[in-house]
């Protein structure tokens, strides 16, 4: 088992400002989010990264990939003398791990935080606990990926995203500042919200869209049972606008149940929107329908394009490619020779004598724009 290395610890009553050059960070759950946080901190002067996992193979992998300095299967060993503890487990396990960590001897001044996408319940649990000289500050980095696991971790995940903190009103401002300063390594924009307000907003902009996408896909799946053309013709745009329906079922079960009271209200409001469309269609109210599309378009056009949000952004390019031998190899070779990192490639349609539609996926906007330049130079018609 990968063990936490011995280290010279500062005095337990030493203030945060004096510990800037010697800090231990414990990451409980080194998956996509926990691993990406660790990579943001990894290698910074004076920061030691210790990962905790409940499986030996995952602990070993997090060390082999260079995500953490060391890893352990012992929760007590991971949090011992830690200055910061990040709970990066699934939402359904956060309260259990919070109680377990709280029951262990924690360093004076230790800051415990989490990365869950719901905040009200974990905040309520934290209020029930006596933190003595440690404290809990809820957190939610609003960024994600289509991929999962420590293999998908990247130090770029949170760049240009919002990182929400939900401190209690009586939290020492110096501790909020300390956590904010550490999170500056993520290059995210840190903001503070009340836990309930966070859950209302994220429920509307992330949790509700996931429900709608799943319901829509399942509706089409039901039609497909009697007519296979539904699946045949649902490629392309339909697949793109419902991609979040493929999210992890267990993760989203826990998120939705945890935020169920907000979602029940949001779904009732959604039903009002649907009923309004039904009414307009029944009355053949073309102007009313047009007005709703205009209003939606106006609001959507005001949304920031270059900041990450609660739903992971995709970086895809599309191009028409002729059905010629070696064309895919030529494209990937040219991109590789120019140092462009291609994360996925899909041929959506390809028939003899008819150009196929190719979708190229990238991990970030920089890689996507570099690819666009290369492919345009090769005289391909490229569009997003």
Average pLDDT for residues 87-97, to the nearest whole number? 95
Please write the tens of the pLDDT for every residue from 133-156. Answer: 899 999 999 987 667 789 888 888
Query: What pLDDT band is residue 230 in, cutting at 50, 70 and 90?
Result: confident
57 contact partners, CB below 8 Å, separation of at least 6: none
Q: Out of 20-29, 116-125, 197-206, which region has the weakest mean confidence (pLDDT)? A: 20-29
Q: Determine whether 305 is exposed, middle or buried from the number of CB atoms within 10 Å of its CB (0-12, 13-18, 19+).
A: exposed
Kindly tell me if the per-residue pLDDT of 209 is higher than 80.
yes
3-state secondary structure of 141: strand
Kindly tell me if the per-residue pLDDT of 18 is higher than 50.
no
Please write the tens of the pLDDT for every residue from 347-377. Answer: 665 444 444 677 788 777 788 888 888 888 8
**pLDDT (0 to 100) of residue 12:** 37
**pLDDT (0 to 100) of residue 312:** 61
Is pLDDT larger for residue 195 or for residue 233? 195
Kindly tell me if the per-residue pLDDT of 19 is higher than 70.
no
What are the beta bridge partners of residue 192? 165
Please write the tens of the pLDDT for every residue from 175-184. Answer: 999 999 999 9
**pLDDT (0 to 100) of residue 313:** 65
Kindly tell me if the per-residue pLDDT of 84 is higher than 80.
yes
**pLDDT (0 to 100) of residue 325:** 73
**pLDDT (0 to 100) of residue 258:** 95
The alpha carbon dihedral of 117, 123, 128, 129 has a sign of: positive
Query: What pLDDT band is residue 252 in, cutting at 50, 70 and 90?
Result: very high
Write the class of the CATH domain 18-193: alpha beta
Is pLDDT larger for residue 19 or for residue 288? 288
Average pLDDT for residues 302-313, to the nearest whole number? 65
Kindly tell me if the per-residue pLDDT of 13 is higher than 60.
no
Question: Could you say which DSSP state residue 203 is in?
Answer: I
Spell out the SS3 assignment of 4-67.
CCCCCCCCCCCCHHHHCCCEEEEEECCCHHHHHHHHHHCCCCCEEEEEECCCHHHHHHHHHCCC
CATH number of the domain located at residue range(s) 198-301 in this protein:
1.10.3660.10
Q: How far is it, in rounded angstroms, from Cα 123 to Cα 245?
A: 28
What single string gives the DSSP state of each residue in 333-358?
A: HHHHHTT--EEEEEEEEEETTEEEEE
**pLDDT (0 to 100) of residue 265:** 97
Compute the mean pLDDT over every residue in the chain, rounded to the nearest whole number.
86
- What the block records as the tokens of 220 is 């089409």
Percent of the chain with pLDDT over 90: 59
Kindly tell me if the per-residue pLDDT of 117 is higher than 90.
yes
**pLDDT (0 to 100) of residue 5:** 40
Enumerate the domain spans of the chain.
18-193, 198-301, 315-383
Is pLDDT larger for residue 254 or for residue 13? 254
Kindly tell me if the per-residue pLDDT of 58 is higher than 70.
yes
Task: Please identify which residue in the block is written with the tokens 């003595």.
Answer: 132
In CATH terms, the superfamily for domain 315-383 is: VC0802-like (3.30.2130.10)
**pLDDT (0 to 100) of residue 196:** 96
Query: What pLDDT band is residue 247 in, cutting at 50, 70 and 90?
Result: confident
**pLDDT (0 to 100) of residue 2:** 41
Q: How far is it, in rounded angstroms, from Cα 297 to Cα 32?
A: 33
């Amino acid at each position: 088992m990968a063990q936490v290395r011995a280290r010279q610890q500062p005095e337990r009553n030493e203030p945060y400002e004096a510990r800037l050059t010697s800090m231990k960070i414990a990451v409980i759950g080194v998956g996509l989010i926990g691993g990406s946080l660790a990579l943001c901190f990894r290698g910074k002067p004076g920061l030691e990264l210790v990962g905790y996992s409940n499986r030996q193979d995952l602990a070993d992998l997090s060390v082999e990939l260079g995500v953490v300095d060391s890893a352990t299967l012992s929760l007590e060993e991971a949090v011992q003398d830690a200055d910061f503890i990040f709970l990066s487990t699934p939402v359904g396990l956060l309260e259990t791990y919070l109680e377990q960590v709280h029951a262990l001897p924690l360093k004076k001044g230790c800051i415990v935080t989490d990365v869950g996408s719901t905040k009200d319940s974990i905040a309520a649990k934290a209020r029930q606990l006596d933190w003595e000289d440690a404290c809990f500050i809820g957190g939610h980095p609003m960024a994600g990926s289509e991929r999962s696991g420590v293999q998908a971790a990247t130090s770029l995940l949170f760049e240009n995203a919002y990182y929400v903190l939900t401190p209690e009103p009586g939290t020492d401002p110096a501790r909020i500042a300390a956590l904010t300063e550490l999170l500056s390594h993520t290059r995210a924009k840190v903001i503070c919200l009340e836990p309930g307000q966070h859950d209302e907003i994220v429920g509307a902009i992330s949790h509700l869209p996931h429900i709608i996408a799943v319901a829509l896909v399942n509706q089409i799946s039901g039609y497909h049972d009697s007519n296979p053309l539904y699946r045949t013709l649902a490629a392309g745009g339909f697949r793109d606008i419902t991609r979040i329906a493929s999210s992890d079922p267990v993760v989203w079960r826990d998120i939705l149940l945890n935020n169920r009271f907000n979602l029940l209200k949001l779904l009732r409001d959604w039903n009002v929107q649907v009923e309004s469309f039904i009414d307009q269609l029944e009355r053949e109210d073309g102007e009313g329908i047009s007005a709703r599309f205009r209003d939606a378009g106006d609001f959507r056009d005001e949304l920031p394009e270059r900041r990450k949000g609660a739903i992971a952004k995709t970086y895809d390019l599309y191009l028409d490619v002729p059905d010629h031998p070696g064309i895919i190899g030529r494209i990937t070779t040219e991109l590789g020779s120019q140092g462009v990192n291609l994360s996925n490639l899909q041929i959506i349609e390809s028939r003899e004598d008819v150009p196929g539609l190719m979708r190229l996926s990238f991990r970030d906007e920089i890689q996507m724009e570099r690819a666009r330049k290369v492919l345009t130079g090769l005289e391909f018609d490229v569009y997003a």
